[in-house]
Structure 1
Amino acid sequence: MSGGAPRVVVLDYGSGNLRSAVRAVERAGAQVELTSDKQAALDADGLLVPGVGAYAACMAGLRAVRGDEIIGRRLSGGRPVLGICVGMQILFDRGVEHGVETAGCGEWPGTVDRLQAPVVPHMGWNTVEVPQGSQLFAGIEDERFYFVHSYAARSWDLVTNDRTRAPLVTWASHGAPGAPGDGGEDAPAPDRFVAAVENGPLWATQFHPEKSGDAGAALLRNWIGTLS
């Protein structure tokens, strides 16, 4: 840490929405550098991995700057990483879009695939189901956050068998049952998906905290408050 504020690198690997992520993290109290430099990313107190667009394109951009190696090396040393939106999705084993399967970073088992809901993408504000003991959502457990995505991890497949501390998984749902007269009790249930994960030094959100107003700012402050 320099000057009392944690140093955060926002990883620049060609994904969009980088400047808004930088501004949000700066407002939350960190010194921020937007870079693809490997050493800077390894040395920072925290690494933020953003992501918008297609899974395959994000993985190609990430590998081009050796971002998958950077993430792995940081985590092996217990160094904090925060993934956002597709930056969360690429942490899983694989993503499937339009029938094309792309290998992810493999930090968590599981597949990211298309939401099963009448209306996709899932766009707008939504509540989340926060587990007890969450540090990421401390003080904002009942707030709404801004989502914009068509794909998600729709199951949590990591089994620890009590060998390590079990991750804290936050869930959300998209797709309300049909209105009266449009299917009634036969309407499909909302599709449930992983909205956030706290797994040792690796945290991630499917929603965009930088677009989530005061609640998103508080969440980023919660993450920055853990950096050292």
Structure 2
Amino acid sequence: MIGIINYGAGNIFSLTAALDRVGVTYGMINTADEIDLYDRIIIPGVGHAGAAMHKLRESGLVPYIKELRKPVLGICVGMQLLTEYSEEGDADMLELFPLKTLHFDAGVAGKVPHMGWNSVSVQANNPLFANIEDQTYFYFVHSYYIEYDTTFTAAKCDYGSPFSAAISRDNFFGVQFHPEKSGKAGEQLLLNFSTIQID
């Protein structure tokens, strides 16, 4: 069963509606002792990364999240929280990936925020993208992005220049797009996450 970190910075309704549609059971995690009730964790997030990180610290869940060995999925700002630093709020993040979250340069990227459907290029044989075709379209809405690298990027997207649309390291996964708003492909990704096994 999936536990959703409920720290006041996530779009919980859209996510739970998507999980309901695909028949995945879930519950809310409000305190550290509730983490053990679930075999995988989702960190949602919308809005400002610095403010979201502040709320997450206030929840007291940060040290427990960093020690998790079960599958963890960060969505949108939830993915950015997994990096080491965000320009949004000039804030340190969870430091689970040695990557930075940066602001789009409007001169390069065009209109900011990056909003709407865009295709992603899957970079590796990653279980998060099982049964999802390369160049599938997902729904994005963000002004900040995670720098593209070849070590941790599971899928990339281009918006003026390449950025990480998905990252993966051990039991931690992140997606910049919103699977809960990405139709059948997004539902497949959530289903994939619900069955990922960590050795």
Aligned partner of residue 123 in structure 1, secondary structure: strand
Does the residue aligned with 2:15 lie in a helix, a strand or coil? helix
2:105 aligned with 1:112, yes or no? no
- 8 Å Cα contact 1:91-1:108 kept in structure 2: yes
**Matching of residue 200 in structure 1 with residue 170 in structure 2:** yes
- Contact conserved, 1:9 with 1:33, CA < 8 A, in 2? yes
Partner of 2:155: 170
Q: Secondary structure at the match of 2:62?
A: helix
1:115–1:191: 8 Å Cα contact kept in structure 2?
A: no
Q: Is the 8 A contact 1:11 1:48 kept in 2?
A: yes
- Give TM-score scaled by structure 2 length: 0.91
Number of matched pairs: 194
Superposed CA RMSD in Å reads 1.7
Give the match for residue 145 of structure 2.
152
1:88 maps to which residue?
79
Larger Rg: 1
Identity, % of aligned positions: 36
User: Deviation per CA, 1:64-84, whole angstroms, max 9, x where unpaired?
Assistant: 11232221121xxx2110000
Q: CA deviation at 1:51?
A: 0.5
Partner in structure 2 of residue 71 of structure 1: 65
- Matching residue's letter, 2:122: V
> Relative to 1, partners in 2 of residues 1:132 and 1:169: Cα closer, same or farther, differing over 3 Å?
closer
- Point out where structure 1 has 5 or more consecutive residues left out of the alignment: 1-6, 158-165, 175-189
* Cα pair 1:209 1:217 within 8 Å, conserved: yes
Q: Aligned to 1:39, what secondary structure does the other structure show?
A: helix
Q: 1:16 pairs with 7, 10, 26, which one? A: 10
Q: Which amino acid aligns with 2:117?
A: W
Counterpart mapping for 1:29-108 below 5 A: 29-74=23-68, 78-97=69-88, 100-108=89-97
Give 1:23 deviation, angstroms.
Answer: 2.1
C-alpha contact 2:3 2:27 (8 A) present in aligned 1: yes
- 5+ residue gaps, structure 2: none
Q: Distance in 1 between matches of 2:7 and 2:175?
A: 18
Q: Could you tell me how far 1:48 is from its partner in structure 2?
A: 0.3
In structure 1, what is the Cα distance between the partners aligned to 2:2 and 2:60? Answer: 18
Contact in 2 for aligned 1:45/1:227 (Cα 8 Å):
no
SS of structure 1 residue aligned to 2:36: helix
